[in-house]
Amino acid sequence: MSKLLEVRNISKYYTHKDGWLPGRRICALEPLSFSLERGETLAIMGETGSGKSTIAKIIAGAEKPSSGELFINGQALDKMADQQRCRYVRMIFQDSLRSLNPQITVGKQLLEPLLFNHDGRSLEERKKRVFETLRKVGLLPEHYHFYPHMLSSGQQQRVCIARAIVLEPQIIVADEAFAALDPSIRAQIINLILDLQQDMGISFIFVTHSPEIVKHVSDKILIMHRGKMIEFGTTQALITDPQESLTATLLQADNNYKVPLHSTTKE
């Protein structure tokens, strides 16, 4: 199989500037490399502030890496303009409501990526494409005329997914896209994503805290700790034979989050 995405030595440094003094450099991401094949799902896990969102944002193009290169099918992804990049990589944000423009209807927001990548399609064809996409994510063509605040949070998340798949990309990056949803909707959305992945052959990269989702969905796992990649391997390998204790803790789902009996109110 050919490598779809190749990440070579990307790193990210922020300069924390305070007044006139030269700023301090803060390392968010130390150089790391990995690769992903077509149709695979990669889960990025780690503690808060470990740089996992930074990787997601760099791959999606929301942030520029301080060094390193990204290749998609052998083409340099980080040299591409946003307009070209969005045909390959799309992003789903953490907060669906905030990532939708509150003043524009859902339909117009979905037309937006098509407007600049329409390949000579007419407005009617583009609208048809938006309607199809809305159906694909389980919404109705009527939702075209809705404003984001009129939808429930699950529907908003579906709109965000629709926006990600409307250009038929090869990779979708989801930055903790499921964290804010309640369990039943989360299950719906995850199944939706799995269906889309089967239909369209998309690779997924997602950042998450939840080991259940990781076990259910992902092919590979990448564990981050303080800006370093400490482990990278198949889900099978990492669960059965974790090399680091952090990996074991993060992937050990069942009793980790359970609240002790005494702390709950007795009902």
Residues lying near another protein in the complex (CB under 8 A) are found at 60-62, 81-86, 90-91, 93-95, 97-104, 112-113, 115-117, 146-147, 149-150, 163
To another protein, the closest distance from the beta carbon of 160 in angstroms equals 8
**Beta carbon nearer to another protein, 173 or 214:** 173
* 89-92 sheet: strands from edge to edge: 89-92, 171-175, 203-207, 41-46, 220-225, 228-234
User: For residue 108, what are the contacts with CB-CB under 8 A and spacing of at least 6?
Assistant: none
To another protein, the closest distance from the beta carbon of 51 in angstroms equals 18
**Beta carbon nearer to another protein, 103 or 265:** 103
Question: Of 97, 40, 60, nearest to 235 (Cα)?
Answer: 40
Amino acid 213 reads: I
Query: Which parts of 7-144 fold into alpha helices (H)?
Result: 52-60, 82-85, 106-116, 123-136
**Beta carbon nearer to another protein, 94 or 219:** 94
To another protein, the closest distance from the beta carbon of 130 in angstroms equals 13
Helix (H, G, I), strand (E, B) or coil at 82: helix
**Beta carbon nearer to another protein, 12 or 225:** 12
**Beta carbon nearer to another protein, 63 or 69:** 63
To another protein, the closest distance from the beta carbon of 90 in angstroms equals 7
Q: Token pair for residue 10?
A: 């990307």
| Nearest-angstrom CA–CA distance, 24 and 13 | 10
| Nearest-angstrom CA–CA distance, 223 and 195 | 26
To another protein, the closest distance from the beta carbon of 241 in angstroms equals 37
